[in-house]
Amino acid sequence: MFSRRTVTSGLIGLSAAPLIGSAARAARAGAVIEGANAWSESAMVLYFDPEVRNGYSVRISRYPDNNATLVWCHLLLDGQLYTFTQRAIPCAPNHTDPNQDTAVYDSPGLKVSIRRSGSSLEMQSLAFTAEVRAHRSAGGHDGPGDTPVKLEGVFHPGPLKAGSPKGRFERTGMMEATLSAGGKSTALKGIGKAHEQTQTAPRFDAPFTYAMLWGPHASLIGLMSPARRYGDVELNGKDVDMQSFRIEAWAPTRRFVALLNDGSRVEGKAETVQRFEVPIWGDEQWHGRIVRAEAGGQQMVGMINDWRPEKQPYGLT
């Protein structure tokens, strides 16, 4: 009996006759097995305005060897949260090479994509689009909702962050986008965040808390997990990687502290403005929080997310 769970084995389309080759691949999504090694690649773009009333988070994760794509789309318009997630999506067999001059993270059967110009190391831009039917709720389940939403935009990257581990490319930079939902539309422009990552190790295995915060003059990325830790703080014109990141268990306001490799210490706190859930293995949920924060005397916005929080060693010491 198998103890490992799968992300998906859903059907996108059916045919009266058996399908073979690329047609079969396009019709039936594969499965991602919990805890199993598999080549995977992901891209994510995020932006929230200073009032945390408008913004977006779009993530595409491809498993080409498993014929599986995962899409997360969370939009905030005039204070209303719209959510869409889907795990039952096929995937083209090509691997995305970080050294390629261009790359496309797509989602067959959905109008959601992220397109990179330049290599991952020398990125020139990320163009993104999402047009789905979303839920007016905190999510927690896959599939379309009742509200059409549309997002189109481009990310103009800043320098690669000092704490980016091998295979991961973290940046802040200028975002420009238009967002429509619920009969409303707005143009958004300001500092946001994006990252790409390729790996063969399992995703969503060890518990973690991941903070990604940014503002006009500062940013903080911090990962706390029993398995690994990394991050960096950009402050006063310096980008310094982290020695450690500690954070309290979730509360409406939670404190955190980062110890940097130059010996300095940065303390902060984050207030949750929106909460949402994303199903990962079966009904097990990843917990997303959109926040406004202060760290090192700088105002920031962003997200602090928790996976398997019951196994996390929370606390500031």
Summarize pLDDT for 55-96 with one digit per residue, the tens: 999 999 999 999 999 999 999 999 999 999 999 899 999 999
Report, as an integer, the average pLDDT of 224-238.
92
Please tell me whether residues 220 and 300 are part of one structural domain.
yes
pLDDT digits (tens, 9 = 90+) for 96-145: 999 999 999 999 999 999 999 999 999 999 999 999 999 999 999 999 99
- Classify residue 295: in a domain, yes or no: yes
Predicted confidence at residue 163, as pLDDT, reads 85
- Looking at residue 295, its amino acid is A
Average pLDDT of the residues in 188-214? 97
- Say how many C-beta atoms besides its own lie within 10 A of residue 4's C-beta: 11
pTM of the predicted protein model: 0.92
Give the model's pLDDT for residue 277.
97
Model confidence at 14: pLDDT above 80: no
Structure tokens at 68: 């599986």
Task: Tell whether 234 and 314 lie within a shared domain.
Answer: yes
Q: Report yes or no on 25 lying in a domain.
A: no
Q: What is the pLDDT of residue 3?
A: 44
The tens digit of pLDDT for each residue in 305-314 reads 999 999 999 9
| Count of other CB atoms within 10 angstroms of residue 310 | 7
Q: Phi then psi for 22, rounded to 5 degrees?
A: -65, -30
Q: How confident is the model at residue 227 (pLDDT cuts 50, 70, 90)?
A: confident
250 phi, psi to nearest 5 deg:
-60, 140
59 domain residue, yes or no: yes
- What rounded mean pLDDT belongs to the chain? 92
CATH code assigned at 130: 2.40.370
Domain range spanning residue 214? 204-317
The pair of three-digit structure tokens given for residue 147, joined into one six-digit string: 């509200």
pLDDT, residue 228, reads: 86
Strand partners, 151: 130, 179
Question: Do 141 and 208 sit in the same domain of this protein?
Answer: no
Amino acid at residue number 28: R
Structure tokens at 21: 């080759």
| Model confidence band, residue 13 (pLDDT cutoffs 50, 70, 90) | very low
Question: Could you tell me the pLDDT band of residue 29, with boundaries at 50, 70 and 90?
Answer: confident
Q: pLDDT per residue over 140-198, tens digit each?
A: 999 999 999 999 999 999 999 988 888 999 999 999 999 999 999 999 999 999 999 99
Q: Cα dist. 44→56, 64, 163, 239, 253 in Å?
A: 10, 17, 17, 21, 25
Q: Write out the DSSP string of 83-125.
A: EEEEEEE---SPPPPTTSSEEEE--TTSEEEEEEES-STT--E
- Residue count of the chain: 317
Taking the alpha carbons at both ends of the chain, their separation in whole angstroms is 42
- Residue-level pLDDT at 9: 41
Beta bridge partners of 47: 56
* 189 and 66 in a common domain: yes
- Shared domain for 280 and 316, answered yes or no, is yes
Predicted confidence at residue 239, as pLDDT, reads 95
| 247 and 175 in a common domain | no
Q: How confident is the model at residue 236 (pLDDT cuts 50, 70, 90)?
A: confident
Asked if residue 24 has pLDDT above 70, the reply is no
- Give SS3 for 278: strand
Domain count, the chain: 2
User: Which whole number is the average pLDDT over 267-271?
Assistant: 98
For position 17, what pLDDT does the model report? 39
Please report the beta strands in the chain, taking only residues with DSSP state E, as ranges in sequence order: 40-48, 55-63, 68-77, 80-89, 102-105, 111-117, 125-134, 147-157, 168-181, 184-199, 208-214, 219-224, 229-235, 238-247, 253-260, 265-279, 285-295, 298-307
> Whole-angstrom Cα distance, residue 222 to residue 257?
10
Q: What integer pLDDT is reported at residue 6 of this predicted model? A: 67
Q: Of 202, 232, 247, at which residue does a domain stop?
A: 202
Task: Give the separation between CA 289 and CA 271, rounded to whole angstroms.
Answer: 9
pLDDT at residue 16, rounded to an integer: 37
What pLDDT sits at residue 27? 62
Domain boundary among 202, 218, 239: 202
What tokens does 118 get? 């330049």
52 and 195 part of one domain: yes
DSSP state of 158: -
The answer, yes or no, to whether residue 202 has pLDDT greater than 60, is yes
Task: Show which of 202, 222, 243 is a domain's final residue.
Answer: 202
